[in-house]
Chain A
Amino acid sequence: MSVDKDTVNKIARLSRIAISDAEADKMVGELNGILAWVEQLGEVDVTGVEPMTAVIANKLRLRDDVVTDGDVRDKVLANAPAKEGSFFGVPKVIE
């Protein structure tokens, strides 16, 4: 499989990364180089093999449904690039 410029632009959009026309052109070659190389995985016979989900066997833990943290509003907001009162500030999303 290989990607063209339209696909690169679509991936960039899905990734929420703005790219220029020149960057998209450059990325076509780079992505195709990497994709052609990873395609060798297709040669591996994986019949009956389950995809790995946990590298070291570990049981998923449950804990009591109680509040263990929170009440740290000011800490959560401390690094916000824009805030208004006790809220994150964003550009207007509803006209």
Chain B
Amino acid sequence: MTELTKLGVAAIRDGVASGAFTAVEVATAFNSNVAKAKALNAFIVETPEKAIEAAQAVDADRAAGKPLGKMAGVPIGMKDLFCTQGVQTTAASHILEGFVPTYESTVSAKLWKAGAGMLGKLNMDQFAMGSSNETSYFGNVISPWRRNDGSNAALAPGGSSGGSSSAIAARLCPAATGTDTGGSIRQPAAFVGISGIKPTYGRCSRWGVVAFASSLDQAGPMARDVRDCAIMLEAMAGFDPKDSTSLDLPVPTWEAGLNRDLKGKRIGIPKEYRLDGIDEDIAKMWDNGIAWLKDAGAEIVDISLPHTQYALPAYYIIAPAEASSNLARYDGVRFGLRDLPEGAGLQDMYAATRAAGFGEEVRRRIMIGTYVLSAGFYDAYYTQAQKVRALIARDFENAWASCDLILAPTAPSAAFGLGEKNADPLSMYLNDVFAVPASLAGLPAMSVPGGLSKDGLPLGLQIIGKALDEQAVLNAGLAIEQRSGFTAEAGEWW
């Protein structure tokens, strides 16, 4: 029998359906890999019994001749931002440690309904704030990758969905949920050589997902290849009356629509993304990506997105502003941590609870957000940022006159070492320079592996599409995947 943990979503689904192996065999194999990989710290909570239970239900349905779901028999990892009924959900924070939701997020409920099972809750940057998975209260996630220089330095798996990326790259799960506010699916996918797509804002319900910046937060799948992402996105997406920004549109059949032929497609190459001093490996990978898409029949056109350089500063006003408002709910009264110093009143309890419960980066962003929204500064910072955001979205609108898709790098470098970018918050923020513009415009964007750096580390190519055109993004991803020949894997040391 093939080694089951080497299989992706499509292969597992098809194998379970055909009877080549059972869902319980698959769940057992992945449970065993999860149990052996503590060194990566990818999971906050492991739920092997949940994975088995879901698999048993799928095997029973198959035996009874019942129709099977899109994800039937596929065990997955669930980012700890999704509320899961009866299973601790913390957003990797101390303030939510011990919080056991009495309800299930819409996205996770859809996945279970489609026949997926849960291997556990994945570690992440605290409240999804971070690009290296170093802000988790439950410790850093370690990437399974190492540089080829023999140094064995621990590398960042990217963030904020770093548990998801690390677990997939190490074959602890064939796929996982991620969320992307300013690159949190795409950058970690790029860092570990897997694929991930952030759909159009509103495709996946935000209900039951711990909120960071509500106008940007969007869930999406992370998996080993483009087809697997298409399958899982179909299971996750769809209208939800419980989310006021959910799009009331039918879910396309993205898997059936996959087509590697890009004839007639125009691919825009934004000149503003070619930064001065761009990393040599990144520039070379980008050129390769252009050649691959040309080979797939696409026409390459130069485009301009003139406000690109303002995307990150606008993001670092808008996202903290929304976070300061969203995170006001953590007050030590209704759920989560309470720190009540001897003799303290209500106000002191709030302040003590929030000081003890939020990590340093979360406190910093709440305070920035509070400042930019405060009386006298609101227009200068927040209103100005929302106007710049409108201009960034307009840049993309203008670009679509001459192209159908945009190709760019996902991140400005390969994975960096843990601790390398901690001293200065700004240097960490700059890692999302290529990812943030599509987030601000709500556009679908995907990262697929594009090659290896000189150090032997994965690099990601990013495809950005028009609103609601996930299909074109996936198709271009497939065209790249079939030409890049990316098969590199992290050598097992954990």
Contact = CB atoms under 8 A, between A and B. Distances in A.
Interface of A: 1, 3, 7-8, 11-19, 27, 30-31, 33-35, 37-42, 44, 46, 49-56, 58, 60-61, 63, 72, 75-76, 78-82, 88, 90-93
Nearest to A43: B310
Contact of B345 (A34, A37, A46, A93): A93
A17 B354 contact: yes
Contacts of A8: 367
A14 B334 contact: no
B202 A44 contact: no
Contacts of B310: 40-41, 44
B364 A30 contact: yes
Nearest to A53: B386
Contacts of A81: 332-333, 335-338
Interface in B419-461: 424-426, 440-442
Nearest to B316: A38
Nearest to B85: A75
Contacts of A44: 307, 310, 384, 387-388, 391
A41 B358 contact: no
Given A34-B368, A52-B390, A81-B335, A17 B384 contact: no
A38 B381 contact: yes
Contacts of B442: 55-56
15 contacts: A1-B380, A11-B371, A17-B354, A18-B354, A30-B425, A39-B313, A40-B309, A44-B388, A46-B388, A49-B387, A50-B390, A55-B216, A63-B241, A79-B100, A79-B334
Given A15-B354, A15-B366, A38-B317, 20 more contacts: A1-B380, A11-B371, A16-B328, A16-B351, A16-B354, A17-B367, A18-B355, A19-B355, A19-B363, A27-B364, A33-B424, A41-B384, A41-B385, A42-B380, A46-B388, A55-B393, A56-B245, A79-B99, A79-B336, A92-B345
B387 A46 contact: yes
Contacts of A51: 383, 386-387, 389-390
The residue among A15, A34, A58, A60 with the most chain B CB atoms within 10 A of its own CB is A15
B493 interface: no
The residue among A8, A12, A76 with the most chain B CB atoms within 10 A of its own CB is A12
A50 B387 contact: yes
Contacts of A14: 370, 374
A52 B386 CA distance: 5
4 pairs of A and B residues whose beta carbons are closest in the complex: A55-B442, A51-B386, A81-B338, A79-B335
Given A41-B314, A55-B201, A75-B102, A49 B390 contact: yes
A52 B322 CA distance: 14
A5 B100 CA distance: 39
B334 to A, nearest CB: 6
Contacts of A50: 387, 390
Contacts of A56: 200-202, 245, 247, 442, 467
Contacts of B440: 55
B215 interface: yes
A90 B333 contact: yes
A12 B369 CA distance: 11
A57 to B, nearest CB: 9
B383 A11 contact: no
Given A46-B384, A50-B387, A58-B247, A33 B335 contact: no
Contacts of B381: 38, 41
Contacts of B441: 55
A44 B311 CA distance: 11
B79 to A, nearest CB: 20
B195 interface: no
Contacts of A31: 364, 367-368, 371
Contacts of B367: 8, 11-12, 15, 17, 27, 31
B100 A11 contact: no
B487 interface: no
A75 B386 contact: no
Nearest to B377: A1
A76 B103 CA distance: 10
A40 B334 contact: no
A15 B344 CA distance: 18
Nearest to B317: A38
B380 A17 contact: no
B311 to A, nearest CB: 10
A44 to B, nearest CB: 5
B350 interface: yes
A30 B360 CA distance: 12
